[in-house]
Amino acid sequence: MPISLGELAERFGCELIGDPDVIIDHVGSLSNAGPGALSFLSSSKFKKQLSSTKAAAVILRAADAKDATTAVLIDDNPYACYARMAAIICPAPTMTPGVHPSAVVSATANVADTAHIAANAVVEDNATIGENSYIGPGAVVGPNCVIGNNCRLNANVTFVRDVTIGDRCIFHSGSVVGADGFGNAMTEEGWVKVPQLGGVRVGDDVEIGSNTTIDCGAIDDTVIENGVRLDNLIQIGHNVHVGEHTAMATACAIAGSARIGKRCMFAGMVGMAGHIEVCDDVVVNGKGMISKSITEPGAYASNFPIEPVRDWNRRVAQFRRLDKLMDRVSALENKAK
């Protein structure tokens, strides 16, 4: 939706340096933007691109304004300001309410008139779909699920059963919510399946990535609080509890009954053992292994960056001779006494 720089500045409370009548009709990265595009500078690292960008205007911090060669919108948090403006300039496609003739909706389901059930989607018994919510092509909403208002379940999402989500949630394609947790009891005849009887409860404003899996609880529910963001291909085990505004990047795996606090940030490929806790405001670097509870906020790590194979193999060999090295040092100490 085209909008003038002046109106953007006024709506979002930014200072504008430049012509308020210039019309913005799309967004662009600093390097590829053209006339009519709004761009942003969120990190001074990319400041040198300010001199060459062809964007119509750039959102940036006051300290970076002097380096700009374009109109600027000044904001303390340029990335968030960009996010909000982009949502106005490039609104999501409008959705036509109604149930596609090829969709299958149970007679006992309760679908709001303003909801959209897309082609070949399935809504099973006693499921509820809220106002303005979208169930994409091939998506399945299982028995007793409750979808709030203004939610999106994109194509081929599966809610297995007994999943309750709040308002304004987004689930990306291929995500699976409410499948059985991994509960098995060993016996002399092999594994016995432990019935997985709990559900999944998800708050408001949650976004879940493609092919991410969130298992139902074994007895009580698995819980995802308000504002949580999970990237693609993440595993959330049964009875995990994820606190408000916690975000995880791709391929994290959280084992059953783990409890994660609020505002945590896990980089990609972090693993967390079951039945332990991470307190609020914990950051874990990529590939970190959380094997004990963390009680102090802060940043944690356990990953080794790659090195050329020859160097790496030498280091591993040295690592394996550490006990001998310690013995040699002890021997030297004894001699030196």
How far, rounded to the nearest angstrom, does the alpha carbon of residue 170 sit from its chain's CA centroid? 10
Which residues are 271's β-sheet partners? Answer: 253, 289
Q: How far is Cα 99 from Cα 121, in angstroms, rounded to an integer?
A: 9
**Nearest CB to its own copies, comparing residues 63 and 83:** 83
Q: How far is Cα 109 from Cα 89, in angstroms, rounded to an integer?
A: 36
Residue 275 annotated as catalytic: no
CA-wise closest residue to 148 among 169, 167, 171 = 167
Instruction: Name the one range near its own copies by CB under 8 A: 7-15, 17-25, 61-69, 316-324.
Output: 316-324
Strands 213-215 and 190-193: unpaired
Q: Does 65 bind its own copies (CB under 8 A)?
A: no
Site for its own copies in 195-214 (CB under 8 A): 195, 197, 205, 207, 209-211, 213
Which listed residue (150, 215, 222, 240) binds its own copies by CB under 8 A?
Answer: 215
Instruction: Name the one range near its own copies by CB under 8 A: 17-25, 62-70, 126-134, 280-288.
Output: 280-288
Q: How far is Cα 32 from Cα 46, in angstroms, rounded to an integer?
A: 13
Instruction: Name the one range near its own copies by CB under 8 A: 6-14, 17-25, 65-73, 306-314.
Output: 306-314
- DSSP annotation of 270 reads -
Q: What mask, x for binding its own copies by CB under 8 A, covers residues 169 to 188?
A: -x-xxx-x--xx-xxxxxx-
Site for its own copies in 234-273 (CB under 8 A): 235, 237, 244-245, 247, 249-251, 253, 255, 268-269, 271, 273
Q: How far is Cα 293 from Cα 102, in angstroms, rounded to an integer?
A: 49
Here the tokens at position 324 are 């001998």
Cβ pair 186, 209 in contact under 8 A: no
Q: Does 95 bind its own copies (CB under 8 A)?
A: no
Q: Does 3 bind its own copies (CB under 8 A)?
A: no
Site for its own copies in 6-25 (CB under 8 A): none
Strands 71-74 and 98-99: unpaired
Instruction: Name the one range near its own copies by CB under 8 A: 8-16, 65-73, 126-134, 313-321.
Output: 313-321
Active-site choice (238, 241, 245, 275): 238
Other CB atoms closer than 10 Å to residue 315's CB: what's the count? 12
Q: How far is Cα 271 from Cα 273, in angstroms, rounded to an integer?
A: 7
φ, ψ dihedrals at 58, nearest 5°: -130, 130
Find where tokens 């948090």 sit. Answer: 77
Q: Does 308 bind its own copies (CB under 8 A)?
A: yes
**Nearest CB to its own copies, comparing residues 69 and 191:** 191
Q: How far is Cα 54 from Cα 111, in angstroms, rounded to an integer?
A: 47
Q: What is the nearest approach in angstroms of its own copies to the Cβ of residue 133?
A: 16
Q: What is the nearest approach in angstroms of its own copies to the Cβ of residue 274?
A: 9
Which listed residue (16, 109, 122, 146) binds its own copies by CB under 8 A?
Answer: 122
Q: Does 233 bind its own copies (CB under 8 A)?
A: yes
Q: Does 49 bind its own copies (CB under 8 A)?
A: no
Q: Does 229 bind its own copies (CB under 8 A)?
A: yes
- DSSP annotation of 233 reads T
Q: Does 328 bind its own copies (CB under 8 A)?
A: yes
**Nearest CB to its own copies, comparing residues 71 and 121:** 121
Here the tokens at position 5 are 């720089």
Active site positions, annotated = 238
